[in-house]
Amino acid sequence: MFLKNLSLVNFKNYREAEFEFHDKVNCFVGNNGEGKTNILDAIYYLSFCKSFFNPSDSQNVLHDESFFLVQGEFEKEGETDKIYCGVKKGQQKIFKKNKAEYDRLADHIGGYPLVMISPSDSILIYEGSEERRKFIDGIISQYDKEYLDHLIQYNKALAQRNALLKLFFKERRFDAESLEIWNEQLSNHGKYIFEKRAAFIKSFEPIFQEYFQIISGKKETVELEYQSQLAAIDFIEALQNSVDEDLRKQFSTVGVHKDELQFNIGGHPLKKFGSQGQQKSYLIALKVAQMEFLKQIKKVNPILLLDDIFDKLDENRVMHLLDLVNSRKFGQIFITDTHPERIEQLLRTVKGEHKMFEIEKGSVKRVWHEEKK
């Protein structure tokens, strides 16, 4: 699978732009703030119906304009699919495949698998457990349609239960029956989520371990430890037992919204004991393993977006990574870099066919191309 072209209107700092892509490697080069990452984000939109960076669609509209359009054509199994994403401020986002509008955006997710590697991935290590749950959920949602539905329903039920707890606290009353409705919903969706997460980690971990060794070049033991309250208790019972504490705290204290994915290295938490280099390799390995995992399940090559890769890795490791991507036939890659010579030199070394786009102030200044001799 690959993205053939992309067209932008009023998207972030692009008033109007068109791109024809190489089916292997595409590089966006230019100075800071010119709009390189914005292109990756537009590609991300086509796959996930949303921005990788900004949860508010309307903030991605070019300043002082009222709408944006992102369109692109994916080549997949010999067919061309035209994807359309239109956002008008104050209106619902419109998402179409081959001119037919989706009823639910969730139906689109997973059709065009994609993995983004960005400097902001470090939040996976440094931020709270929510980021790691998002990482897990983002992958499972790409191959399990029901999962996303369960997740949405679970979060709705959770919000309702929490609102009820707050109301009880405020009005100093309690009604077990109305709470029970939400307990059942939470338990129903939560069990599904728990089982899918546990199964995912089990099959993902060995792939991750393999890639960690390839990327770091070291035989260190790394583990992904899935921690969930649901592993040891019956969820519905736990919800009933936690009522007193929940009322006091005015939110639900047990459930899969408390799940954690612990990153370990050499048997110790990575965040505390991992070196800078180990942490960088860990993150890249997580993402590359995500690619391999999706590839095995979806039977298509995911698209890889590499934002500011040199920010994360030294040239040797980048070469390792590019080599890996090349040799395993990973599919199409999009790379951003501020130094055209550096990335071109590396691509020549690994003999990667590529196309270069020089970006300046939200437009394409120059395009050049290098085919395999």
Ligand X SMILES: Nc1ncnc2c1ncn2[C@@H]1O[C@H](COP(=O)(O)OP(=O)(O)OP(=O)(O)O)[C@@H](O)[C@H]1O
Exposure on the CB side of residue 331, measured as CA atoms within 13 A: 24
Q: What's the CA gap between 190 and 251, in Å, rounded?
A: 16
Q: Report if residue 30 touches ligand X, rule: CB under 6 A.
A: yes
Q: Report if residue 187 touches ligand X, rule: CB under 6 A.
A: no
Q: Are 202 and 246 in contact (CB under 8 A)?
A: no
Out of 15, 33, 145, 314, the only residue in the binding site for ligand X (CB under 6 A) is 33
Q: What's the CA gap between 68 and 363, in Å, rounded?
A: 16
Tell me how many degrees the CA angle 286-201-162 measures, rounded to the nearest 5: 105
Q: What's the CA gap between 321 and 313, in Å, rounded?
A: 10
> What track of x and - describes contact with ligand X for positions 292 through 311 (by CB under 6 A)?
----------------x---
The single-letter DSSP state of residue 221 is -
The single-letter DSSP state of residue 335 is E
Q: What's the CA gap between 185 and 282, in Å, rounded?
A: 36
Residue 184 contacts which entry, Mg ion, ligand X, none (Cβ below 5-8 A, type-dependent)? none
Residue 242 contacts which entry, ligand X, Mg ion, none (Cβ below 5-8 A, type-dependent)? none
> Binding residues for ligand X, how many (CB under 6 A)?
18
Q: Report if residue 196 touches ligand X, rule: CB under 6 A.
A: no
Q: What's the chain's length in residues?
A: 373
Tell me the closest approach of the beta carbon of residue 171 to ligand X, in angstroms: 43
Provide the b/e sequence for 147-172 (b: ≥16 CB within 10 Å): bbebbebbeebbebbbebbeebeeee
Q: Report if residue 183 touches ligand X, rule: CB under 6 A.
A: no
Q: Report if residue 118 touches ligand X, rule: CB under 6 A.
A: no
Out of 12, 133, 161, 287, the only residue in the binding site for ligand X (CB under 6 A) is 12
The CA distances from residue 241 to 160, 236, 252, 300, in Å, are 18, 9, 11, 46
Tell me the closest approach of the beta carbon of residue 311 to ligand X, in angstroms: 9
Out of 27, 29, 34, 306, the only residue in the binding site for ligand X (CB under 6 A) is 34
Closest to 328 (Cα-Cα) out of 357, 284, 361, 295: 295
Q: Report if residue 50 touches ligand X, rule: CB under 6 A.
A: no
Residue 338 contacts which entry, Mg ion, ligand X, none (Cβ below 5-8 A, type-dependent)? ligand X
Out of 6, 62, 136, 157, the only residue in the binding site for ligand X (CB under 6 A) is 62
Residue 50 contacts which entry, ligand X, Mg ion, none (Cβ below 5-8 A, type-dependent)? none
Please, which residue, 36 or 132, has the CB nearer to Mg ion?
A: 36
Please, which residue, 281 or 336, has the CB nearer to ligand X?
A: 336
Q: Which stretch binds ligand X (CB under 6 A): 36-44, 78-86, 151-159, 165-173?
A: 36-44
Q: Report if residue 55 touches ligand X, rule: CB under 6 A.
A: no
Q: Report if residue 35 touches ligand X, rule: CB under 6 A.
A: yes
Let me know if 325 is exposed, middle or buried by CB neighbors in 10 A (0-12, 13-18, 19+): buried
3-state class (DSSP) for residue 242: coil
Taking every pair of C-alpha atoms in the chain, what is the biggest distance, in angstroms?
A: 77
Q: Are 251 and 165 in contact (CB under 8 A)?
A: yes
Tell me the closest approach of the beta carbon of residue 126 to ligand X, in angstroms: 20
Q: Report if residue 120 touches ligand X, rule: CB under 6 A.
A: no
Q: Report if residue 36 touches ligand X, rule: CB under 6 A.
A: yes
Residues numbered 29 to 88 that lie near Mg ion (CB under 5 A) are: 36-37
Residues making contact with Mg ion (CB under 5 A): 36-37
Residues making contact with ligand X (CB under 6 A): 12-13, 30, 32-38, 59-63, 308, 336, 338
